[in-house]
Amino acid sequence: MKNLGNLMKQATQMQAKMGEMHAKLGETEVEGSAGAGLVSVTITGKFDLRKVRIDPSLVKPEETGVLEDLIVAAFADARTKAEAVMQEEMEKITGGFGLPGGLKLPF
């Protein structure tokens, strides 16, 4: 029973650390870019869009489609970076313990 108590204590500690990580991700910002930096977006670790920057040279009526595609590409780049940050933080918390394959966190 001692091992079970110890396991429960570790689970509680991990849950607290995950809560802290979740809060930290809400404050962490990453930037993604596309079109050689002509379009960039900033998102949080929770994938909330915070900022869009568009180089003035792209603001032409006939270039609207290209601009829209670059915004989507910049967001995808930022999301990939945010997911990498989240994975690094998770590895710090689990200490390399690893989660079963296919298990995803609620965030």
Domain count within the chain: 1
Residue 17 maps to a domain: no
Residue 6 maps to a domain: no
Residue 15 maps to a domain: no
Residue 48 maps to a domain: yes
pLDDT digits (tens, 9 = 90+) for 32-45: 998 999 888 888 88
Residue 11 maps to a domain: no
* Domain around 39: 27-94
Flag residues of the chain having pLDDT under 70: 1, 96-107
Domain harbouring 70, CATH code: 3.30.1310.10
Ordered DSSP codes for 50-100: EEEEE-GGG--GGGHHHHHHHHHHHHHHHHHHHHHHHHHHHHHHHTT----
Q: What is the mean pLDDT of the chain?
A: 81
Rounded distance between C-alpha atoms, residue 53 and residue 42, angstroms:
9
